[in-house]
Structure formats: structure tokens, C-alpha cells
A and B are shown apart, each in its own frame.
With several copies, the nearest count.
Chain A
Amino acid sequence: MEKPRLIREDGLRHDGRRPDELRPVRISIGVLNKASGSALVEYGGTKVLAAVHGPREISQRHILLPDRAIIRCRYHMLSFSTHERKSPAPSRREIELSKVVRESLEPVVISEVFPRTAIDVFVEVINADGGTRTAAVTAASLALADAGIPMRDLVVAIAVGKVSGTLVLDIDEAEDMYGEADMPVAVAPSIGLITLLQLNGVLSREEFSEALKLALKGASQIYEKSREALRDRYMKVKVEE
């Protein structure tokens, strides 16, 4: 990929978006048959599938906990989801993101209801165009809801970046690769908790607070779309019944 001009003369971004504009967001819930819950989430060209199995018993009994369900999470990229083919062995990046995505879900799952069980979350990145971990969090949260897991709130996530000196919402791969900073944020809006926060890049104190505000603004739009998708899903299920 060659470096595009990230901020054009008219102040818009290389794909024509305003700095605070999301890419098109598409959400489908309940797309899989054999999983307890599932969701397919797209942020522009990024396409992520999340599936939930459980709560269930597992053979590795020794990792279970007596007073709550454990969450197990795997963030995984299909080999052809990236520009260069990804080798099938788990990368260090995937191992880190599996942890980071799991920890973004822990604060909202009411795990005490299912002691001695595991809730398994499998994230598959089908196509990667920036923001795969944030799309993963949103998809995982919706898959948990689809599986009927009780939750304190939905968690939704979005990244803010700094490109050519400008803070921009929902960066794509070109902006991530050639920009100065990438800051993914996950939030449970109704309970006011930020459950994932990473900064990959360098920001001043002022830039950071501005960036965080921009992320929360974008997240609230994703939140609305997510709730809408859930509403549609449940109504459809009801009608089908």
C-alpha cells in the first residue's frame, strides 16, 4: 500500500470522510446456527465475526472458578484477511488482543450467575482494514447478548487516530499505517465505564483528552446502531415465533 495524502486540502480524509465521521457500520446478529450467539460487524472494509459458546462445562476443570463463570476469548485472523498472508500460528499480537478483548468484556458480563462454567468468545477477523479489535469488541458484546448472557451494558468500541496532525475517528488501515497514533477505546456507555484503552503512538496531554472525547462520541453512535440491531433481531425472532 502506498502512502495516500491522509488529510486533503478541503480538510477531509483520504476517503472523503470528515475527521469525526465513522465509516459505514453494518451489524448482523445471529448469523451462525451452531453457536449459542453470534454477530457479524463491519466498519467499512473491516469485517469481523464473533461467536459465543456457553455457558458450558469444559474438560480443563482446573481453570474454572467456584463463584463465577470464566470468560475465554480468542481473537484470530483468517490467513487471507490481511494484505500479506497471515501465517496460521498464533501471533504475539493475536495473543495480546485476545487478552485485551476479553478484559473489555469482563466488566459487563454478569458472570456470577453461572459458577463453574466457561463462556467462550471466538472472534474471527474475515477482512482487516483497520479497527479489527474495536469491531471485535462490538461483535463479541452483541454475540454475548445474542447468546442470552446477562450483561450490565453493551460494550462498543471505536478507534481514534492522529493523522497528519489531525485527530480523526475510526481510522482505516492506511490511516493506521501512515498516521502518528492509534487509540482504540471500548466503552459501556450506560454505566460510564471505559473497558479498553490503548494508545499506540505519542500524544500530548491535551491531544489525549480531545481524542478520548472524540472516541466516546463515535462510540455512542455505534451503541445506537447496536441496540437497533438487537431490537430488530428480537422482534424478528418474535415474529417468527
Chain B
Amino acid sequence: MSHTPSPGIITPKLKANTIVNMIKKGIRSSGRGLTDYRPIDVVVGYVQNADGSALVRLGNTVVVAGVKLEVGSPYPDTPNEGALIVNAEFMPAASPTFEPGPPDENAIELARVIDRALRELKAIDMSKLAIVPGRRVWIIYVDIYVLDHDGNLVDASSIATLSALLNTTLPKVEVDESGNVRVEKNIRMSPLPINHKVVTVTVAKVENVLFIDPDLDEEGVIETKLVIAVSDDSRIAGIQKSGSGGLTEAEILAALDIALKTGVSLIKTIESRVLEPTLGLSTNTLGQ
């Protein structure tokens, strides 16, 4: 059963008022504007045993996403295609309010929103992931772990997911005459075939003001938010209204315009971070 959540760590009334008043003036902490992201760091290849991985810092929010490729059976209705499975967990390390255990409704919603955007956009070319058509295909497991929670987990997770997918390579496989598949993880053949890139842009609303990338304090004051998946060719690849409030038709359309504009440039930023050699970032820390 889903239930009205308790406010986690309550933002003191005075601080909350200050945050709202500043947002209404278009100012936010550390001086960023309503449609600015916090600084983004991306470390790809952070996890050696993954087939692709990325550690992402969005301000003080830290997420690691990893991709594992396993040989498995296709779904009966898509016998010649690979399959995608996206999971997310909010680690108890990330916040005093997170409990260990199976993913709660927030983690499940996050994973499903990211999964749907990838799936509906056909972001991954699944038709190239059959190994023995009709029998053996690549199953792509994307696992997202939130390690430090300072707000906007969906966008940080979507950035980590896209980065990890762009970092993923397919290992060599050999199929013997009886159809048995042998994987050589040490030999990498090609990158994962990507048709489209997609990120989410979360637009928050407080007292009729819209802004993006809320941090944890700001999440304590917002009424609701709209998570909008944006593709590299400026289409809307998914929407999820989340939170206990509502929006007017005009607010929704305004939020979409913000998301489309921000999302496309965010994808470019990620591409450059993933493809260029990492500068000044150590894999020895959590990307600080």
C-alpha cells in the first residue's frame, strides 16, 4: 500500500520560508538560476566488473549505475531481440531516512520511469542483441544505486544510466554447433548499439514558480514535480507527475518547454563527459 509519506528530515519553517521567497525572486542557493543544474561530474568505467558503469555527482547527490550483460532467453513476443531490466535502490548510506530492504515505491517508480523512456524511444537497438535468434539474446541489466541523497534523484539516475550505457561494450561470444553460447568477457567487440540518447529533466513547482534540479532542501518545500524524459532529437519520451500536488494546463506546457530546452543541452554535456578522456577526476574517490 502506498501511503502519504511523513516529511523526512523536516526543513525548519524559517529556512523553508526563505527558500520559497528566494525561488519566487528567481534566486537559489549558490546563486544558480531557476533553470540551472548544479555542477555535474561523470566518471565512466568506475566499476571494473561491470560491462559499463558510471559514477555521477549532481551537486552533492551521488549515484552509481552499472550495466551487466547476461545471456538469456528472449521474451516470447520479441524472439529476436535483447531485453532490458532496470532496477534502482536507495542505499541506506545515502540518507538517514533510507532503510535497508527491497526497493520502496519511490525507487520502483524511478526505475520504471527511466526504463519506459529507454524502451519507448527504442534508445537501445535491441534487434542487434540476439545471439542465437529465437533462443539466446543479451539481457541488459541496468542497476542504479543512490549513494548520497541531496535531491533530484531521478535526473541524477537518468544521467548515470545514459553514461553507463554509453560506456558499455559487448563481449565476444562464440556459439557452438549445438547452440551453446560461450562468453569471453575479456575480449570486447563493440559498444552497445544506441539509437537515441535520453535524459529526464525534473521540473519542480512551488507557489506557481517552476524550476529545475531541486536539491534536498528545495524538495522539502515543493508541491509537486513533473519528470519529463527528453530525447536527443527534442521529443518527449515520457512524463511522470510525481508528488502530492497538481498543476494547471499552462504550468504543464511551460514545464515542457523548460525541459525540452534543458534536456537537449544536458545530453550534449553528458556525451562530451563520456567520450572525452576524464580530466582531473580520480576514480579513487566518489568523483569529488
Contact = CB atoms under 8 A, between A and B. Distances in A.
A209 B253 contact: yes
A169 B131 CA distance: 40
Contact of B49 (A65, A71, A83, A124): A83
Contact of A32 (B53, B100, B148, B244): B148
B236 A208 contact: yes
Contact of B240 (A107, A126, A128, A198): A198
B3 interface: yes
Interface string A43-84: 001010101010010000001010010111110101111110
Given A82-B49, A204-B235, A73 B2 contact: yes
A103 interface: yes
A123 to B, nearest CB: 9
Given A79-B143, A103-B241, A88 B252 contact: no
A99 B105 contact: yes
Given A35-B93, A107-B244, A194-B248, A70 B108 contact: no
A217 B229 CA distance: 25
B87 A32 contact: no
Interface string A122-137: 1010111100000000
Interface stretch (A5-13, A15-23, A90-98, A220-228): A90-98
A113 interface: no
Interface of B: 1-4, 6, 46-51, 53, 60, 62, 64, 66-68, 70, 87, 89, 91-96, 100, 102, 105-106, 108-109, 111-112, 116, 120-121, 141, 143, 145, 147-150, 185, 224, 226, 231, 234-249, 252-253, 256-257, 260, 284-286, 288
Nearest to A38: B93
A181 B117 CA distance: 11
A203 B6 CA distance: 35
Contact of B92 (A122, A129, A198): A122
A129 B48 contact: yes
B112 A71 contact: no
Q: Which 10 pairs, one residue from A and one from B, show the smallest C-beta to C-beta distance?
A: A193-B246, A80-B66, A51-B93, A199-B239, A106-B244, A70-B4, A80-B50, A98-B2, A197-B241, A195-B246
A151 interface: no
Contacts, number: 215
Interface in A155-214: 181, 183, 188, 192-205, 208-209, 212
A63 to B, nearest CB: 6
A173 B241 CA distance: 23
29 contacts: A28-B285, A32-B93, A34-B60, A40-B285, A63-B6, A65-B6, A70-B3, A73-B2, A74-B2, A76-B100, A78-B143, A80-B50, A81-B47, A81-B66, A83-B49, A101-B2, A122-B91, A127-B47, A129-B49, A188-B246, A194-B247, A197-B226, A199-B238, A202-B121, A202-B236, A203-B236, A208-B256, A209-B253, A212-B249
Contacts of B224: 103
B1 to A, nearest CB: 5
A196 B148 CA distance: 29
Q: Which of B2, B87, B243 has the most CB of A within 10 A?
A: B2
A169 B94 CA distance: 33
Given A32-B286, A74-B1, 12 more contacts: A33-B62, A72-B4, A73-B1, A78-B143, A79-B66, A96-B112, A98-B1, A107-B244, A122-B100, A193-B247, A197-B239, A202-B236
Contact of A34 (B3, B48, B50, B96): B96
A5 B105 CA distance: 37
